[in-house]
Amino acid sequence: MASPPVSSRGRRLRAGGHGSVHVSYLTTRMRRTSILQAIGPLLIIAAGVAAFVWLKSLRAPPETKPAVSKPPPVRTLVLAAPRRQFNIRIDGQVVPRREVTLSAEIAGRVVSRPDNVRGGRYVAQGTQLLQLDPGDYELQLRTIDLQVTGIDLDLQRLTTETAGIAGLVDIGRKNLELATNELERIESLLEKKTATPAERDRVKRSQLSARNALKTLENQQALLPIRRRQLLSQRQGLLAQQEQAQRDLRRTRITAPFDGILTRARVEVGDFVRPGDILVTIEEADVVEVACRLRSDDLHWLRDSLTSRDSPRDAGTLFEVPVTPATVTYRDARQAHEWAGRLTRFDGQGIDPNTRTIPCRVAVNRTHVPGANDAATTLMRGTYVTVTLPVSPKTTLIEIPNAAVRPNRQIWSVSDDRLVIHEVEVARVLPESILIRSDRVSLRPGDHVVVSPLKIAYDGMPVRPRPAKHPDNATTQQDRSP
């Protein structure tokens, strides 16, 4: 149904009513804004005052009695009995104790070499390694033998000649005696005018001939000892040549001088060698050495140790390393193997200028069987091992755990619930503790040392000691030199 029509006057009345409502709304909103602007600062000031009063009410009143301060608690350990033994552990490398280079002493061609003569093979003493051609030296020896035989024959002939000439000298003397007697008889007949001067001259010539023959035989007899000495001298010379030829013949056979391992074999069959050429190199098999290095303080403790076999009455021991039992340890993927050895000598080089350490040698038996069910283990050349040297110091040493060591070499102890500060000199550093000389510090076994930290510490400070759990490895770990 359609709405009734509105006249123009009605429309004007409706428009005038809406305008009055809008003006009234704006007036009311402006009044509210003015009231809020006037009251807002007063509300903020009131809130601040209320907060101040609330915070002031939270402040506690100051105490009228001073607070009681308690001594700080500390944890302490009791020092054990003096340390009787510690170990020096150093790293080393296995080297041969004796290595010999066999060189050719004569010239010759290699004619024989056993198949097992190769580098790395074990050979027993006396095993033939190489054979040089002995033909020339056998021929030379045979020639000298024949010359010696000829000299022996000459000596036998000289002996026969000596006996013959001695007989001829006797005959010559008798012949001279007869000629002399004949001359005397002719002289007597000549005085009686029964002989002629010609007969006397003939007898004189006979006497001179007999004397000359005797003199010749005597001279030959005197030369016989000289000829004998010449022959004997020649024979001695030939015997010397014979011995040299025999030695050269023996040198054609190269043998192992001791039980060992071949490290190098440089020649083959057919090679010609000259005197001085290197043939093979062999190292001793039974005993090896461990090349290691000691610090100066290590050497000091070894000389101070009861386990060292130094004789103070022998001045030579001052220049030698103390002979000390040692344990050589090698670790593989399965287990650790140990050998018993001994520290025997310096390496002869003095102190190394680069590392300031002292090179030493430890002798050890090369082969060791750890157990009946284990295979034999052999120390190979170049193996890296650990050498443990036991030290039983004559000097009394006190062991301090590392937890009790403070900066500036200080140790804190507790006596009568008060802190005592000690300045110590470290004699030996162990993995879990240090050792100090008992004659240079006032600490004694049974004293309580502090192992817990303190913010402030001074001598005589009151503390509350509490026992601390003793580390399990503080006394079981052994020394290890870096």
CATH of the domain at 161: 1.10.287
Pair (246, 264) in one structural domain: no
User: Are the C-beta atoms of residues 295 and 360 closer than 8 Å to each other?
Assistant: no
User: At 423, which CATH number?
Assistant: 2.40.420.20
To which residue do tokens 């080393």 refer?
A: 92
At residue 281, the pLDDT reads: 94
The three-state secondary structure class of 245 is: helix
Instruction: Provide the pLDDT confidence category of residue 240 given band limits of 50, 70 and 90.
Output: very high
Mean pLDDT of 1-30: 52
Pair (206, 268) in one structural domain: no
Instruction: Provide the pLDDT confidence category of residue 22 given band limits of 50, 70 and 90.
Output: low
Sign of CA dihedral 436, 437, 442, 443: positive
At residue 196, the pLDDT reads: 82
What is the enclosing helix (H) or strand (E) of 213? helix 197-251
For residue range 99-123, list pLDDT tens digits in order.
999 999 999 999 999 988 888 899 9
* 292 within some domain: yes
Q: What percent of the chain has pLDDT over 70?
A: 85
Pair (111, 258) in one structural domain: yes
Residue 480 predicted with pLDDT over 50:
no
What is the Cα–Cα distance from 223 to 184, expressed in whole angstroms? 33
Pair (329, 295) in one structural domain: yes
At residue 143, the pLDDT reads: 95
Total number of domains constituting the chain: 4
Which of the 8 DSSP states describes residue 456?
S
Pair (129, 257) in one structural domain: yes
State which of 362, 391, 420 marks the end of a domain: 391
Mean pLDDT of 223-238: 92
Residue 3 predicted with pLDDT over 50:
no
What is the Cα–Cα distance from 8 to 375, expressed in whole angstroms? 130
Instruction: Provide the pLDDT confidence category of residue 64 given band limits of 50, 70 and 90.
Output: low
Residue 180 predicted with pLDDT over 50:
yes
Domain that holds residue 161: 136-250
State which of 325, 356, 391 marks the end of a domain: 391
Residue 9 predicted with pLDDT over 50:
no
SS3 content of the chain, % helix, strand, coil (to 5): 40, 30, 35
State which of 391, 420, 447 marks the end of a domain: 391
At residue 479, the pLDDT reads: 45
Q: Which residue has the higher pLDDT, 14 or 457?
A: 457
> Full-prediction pTM beyond 0.85?
no
User: At 356, which CATH number?
Assistant: 2.40.30
Pair (123, 257) in one structural domain: yes
Bridge pairing between strands 336-346 and 324-331: antiparallel
Residue 192 predicted with pLDDT over 70:
yes
Question: What is the separation, in whole angstroms, between the first and last Cα of the chain?
Answer: 116
Instruction: Provide the pLDDT confidence category of residue 127 given band limits of 50, 70 and 90.
Output: very high
For residue range 361-409, list pLDDT tens digits in order.
999 988 765 554 455 678 889 999 999 999 998 889 999 999 999 988 8
For residue range 129-156, list pLDDT tens digits in order.
999 999 999 999 999 999 999 999 999 9
User: Are the C-beta atoms of residues 420 and 413 closer than 8 Å to each other?
Assistant: yes
Pair (211, 351) in one structural domain: no
* 14 within some domain: no
Which of the 8 DSSP states describes residue 35?
H
Pair (117, 164) in one structural domain: no
At residue 360, the pLDDT reads: 93
